[in-house]
Amino acid sequence: MSVRRTRATAVRVLQQLRHDPRTVALLLAVPCVLMILVHELFVGRPQVFQSLGVPLLGIFPFVAMFIVTSITMLRERTTGTLERLLTTPIARGDLLGGYGLAFALVAAAQAILVSILSFGLLGLEADHRAAIVLLAIANAVLGMSLGLFASAFARTEFQAVQFMPAFVLPQILLCGLLVPRDQMAGWLQAVAALMPLTYAYDALKRLADGLTGPRFWLDVVVVLGVTVLALVLGAGTLRRRTP
């Protein structure tokens, strides 16, 4: 990989996003709007918002980044942009690394913005706030990497959108947000253990509860490991010719 080529790719992607205000609004505003809605839903039961708020700081950016990056990367594939770039000296790792870097910066801005809103205006209370923000960024980057990888399995933007109910929603249902995993059926616990969002949610929940033991660090390692693995596998799906 070349640092210069990776950086040039990242700059190009960021410039494209700058000229797409709707996508920027989706990435930055939607998680904030969703947090406000959750706060208002439980305005009469603040203890519920305090319980859900920290895990949702990671889940909402995860979902938004997955959707946007999968569609954006698919568009690059289907319009022939990737094919043209791969005819140049740029390597697949440079290309996907540039996309990953650009969207990682956006993910960081997104997670920081929703965290400031939650801890500031919405009154979310938690210890280890800096660590929670870092985990929220890691979850957003995880969504980004999975979105880039998932784009290889879609042929149209409609198919890419279908990954939301097929891939993301089951992870939200089984991660422990709605029902604690130890109260699920055994086979559901086994399925949940294979899903990266389970570990992302668990890390945030444990940090919010002050449980920073070995299991917390295992969750963090899994989240980071899956992020890197998805990027590596995504680089392997890039082809010199579009189908």
- pLDDT confidence of 87, banded at 50, 70, 90? low
Q: What is the pLDDT of residues 2-15, one digit of tens each?
A: 777 788 878 888 88
Residues with Cβ within 8 Å of 155's Cβ and at least 6 positions away in sequence, in order, are: 78, 243
pLDDT score recorded for residue 243: 43
Q: Is the pLDDT of residue 240 over 70?
A: no
pLDDT score recorded for residue 1: 62
Q: Is the pLDDT of residue 225 over 90?
A: yes
- Residue scoring higher pLDDT (191 or 161): 191
Mean pLDDT across the stretch 146-157?
Answer: 80
For residue 164, how far is the Cα from the chain centroid?
12
Q: What percent of the chain has pLDDT over 70?
A: 91
- Residue scoring higher pLDDT (39 or 17): 39
- pLDDT confidence of 86, banded at 50, 70, 90? low
pLDDT score recorded for residue 218: 94
Q: In whole numbers, what is the pLDDT of the chain averaged over residues? A: 84
| Entry pTM | 0.84
- Cα–Cα distance for residue pair 157/20, rounded to 1 Å: 17
Mean pLDDT across the stretch 143-163?
Answer: 81
pLDDT score recorded for residue 223: 94
Q: Is the pLDDT of residue 111 over 80?
A: yes
- Residue scoring higher pLDDT (37 or 22): 37
Nearest to 71 by CA among 164, 5, 166, 168: 164
SS3 call for 223: helix
- pLDDT confidence of 80, banded at 50, 70, 90? low
- Cα–Cα distance for residue pair 22/8, rounded to 1 Å: 23
pLDDT score recorded for residue 199: 94
pLDDT score recorded for residue 242: 42
Phi, psi values for residue 19, rounded to 5° = -95, 10
CB atoms within 10 A of CB 93: 18
Nearest to 106 by CA among 78, 157, 141: 141
Amino acid at 220: V
Q: What is the pLDDT of residues 120-139, one digit of tens each?
A: 899 888 888 888 889 988 99
Mean pLDDT across the stretch 54-78?
Answer: 83
- Cα–Cα distance for residue pair 134/87, rounded to 1 Å: 37
- Cα–Cα distance for residue pair 79/73, rounded to 1 Å: 10
